A and B are shown apart, each in its own frame.
Chain A
Amino acid sequence: MSEAIKTFFSPSVLGPEIFYGSSVALFLIGLYMVLVKKNLVKIAIGLTFIESGVNLFLISIGYVWGKTAPILNKTLMMGTPSKEVVDPVPQALVLTAIVIGVAVTAMALSIVIVIHDKYGTLNISKIKELKW
């Protein structure tokens, strides 16, 4: 199974750069949305894009060719599991980061709702106090 995955993602087909490349791409798309878009909801979506890019980057840094997920079964418990499974620390960190991301998104959306109630619009160029 891992061999099949390895051939699918081998440099001749997709290239391992796909993981780093897509994390950078997600980050840049999110940054573009935050900087250029005028709709506040789209800006909030851009923030979640940046989060996804960073999370994908952390996870793909932790990956090692040919190793499996850090969930041990009977055969893995017999030997030294660290030779067979990937580093679990980045995954635990990303678990935390996702939860914090949900909290940040919820707060951002609540502020968007309040702004919409106060000004009657989501377009930041129509909110005069916020112009740049």
Chain B
Amino acid sequence: MIRRLFVLVLLIIIGYFLGTAMASIPFGAEKVDVGPYRSVGNYYVDNTVQETGGVNAVTSIVVLYRGFDTLGEVTVLFLAATGLAAILALTRERRKLKKEKPSLIMRVGTDYLFPAAIVLGSYVFLHGHLTPGGGFPGGVIIASGFLMLFLAQWRYKVDELGLKIIESLAGMTYVTIGLIGLFKLGTFLGNFLGKGTPGALLSAGIIPVIYIVIGIKVGSEMTGLLQNLRETTENE
């Protein structure tokens, strides 16, 4: 009880200082330099079509301007999935599962929703350079389809070796694309493909290629992660 009171006082103090700090930031006002190229955000927005061919400035930043950062991000996700698998495989005891059949609604609904989830996920990562979205949300949508399968069918299991192979191939393709850019243009992850017409599906150089690779990688990674988190059914 004393501890809870102490925590509440602490939270009020933190909230007061956060609130006063945020009150000095006007909401919705122009915060960066308004001049043509003085802020990096304005530069990205004004030059993304000429330099990258992509109309979605956010994905141009994520894949091209800060592509190396995204490679690191993918690595972090990979490390988290691997670390989770390692922790659970080393220490977790395999236990019998309580048998409780998923309801009919769940099973039938999954039959219809699983293909839709795969199609929607592929759409999101294919159109990353044109619409909101990209490889990460697309991959997570695909993994959510597999999560529905895990929930609806207790015995369903994805082949883990296959997932690992797909994931590793996708990661290697990402690095290979970066190396081709290095040899052709002299910069790692350089945009060596044509820019195309802005707004077309086949445009923006390597952005859609990299987003397809990221989508497949994130999808397989998250699927493996969900399968690891699920209770195991092996020693039945």
Contact = CB atoms under 8 A, between A and B. Distances in A.
Nearest to A95: B62
A106 B225 contact: yes
Contact of B44 (A24, A88, A98): A88
A68 B23 CA distance: 24
A99 interface: yes
A16 to B, nearest CB: 4
Contacts, number: 152
Contact residues on B (Cβ < 8 Å of other chain), bracket? 35 or more
Given A24-B19, A32-B7, A64 B30 contact: yes
A60 B8 CA distance: 26
A24 B27 contact: no
B227 to A, nearest CB: 12
Given A89-B44, A107-B84, A100 B31 contact: no
Given A80-B36, A99-B76, A114 B88 contact: yes
Q: Which DSSP category, helix, strand, loop or mixed, fits chain B's interface? A: helix
Interface stretch (B53-61, B105-113, B116-124): B53-61
A85 interface: yes
Contacts of B27: 16-17, 19-20, 60, 63
Nearest to B88: A110
Contacts of A19: 27
Contacts of B44: 88-89
9 contacts: A27-B18, A32-B7, A32-B11, A77-B49, A82-B42, A82-B45, A89-B61, A111-B87, A113-B88
Interface of A: 16-17, 19-21, 24, 27-28, 31-32, 35-36, 57, 60-61, 63-65, 69-74, 77, 80-82, 85, 87-89, 91-92, 95-96, 98-100, 102-104, 106-107, 109-111, 113-114, 117-118
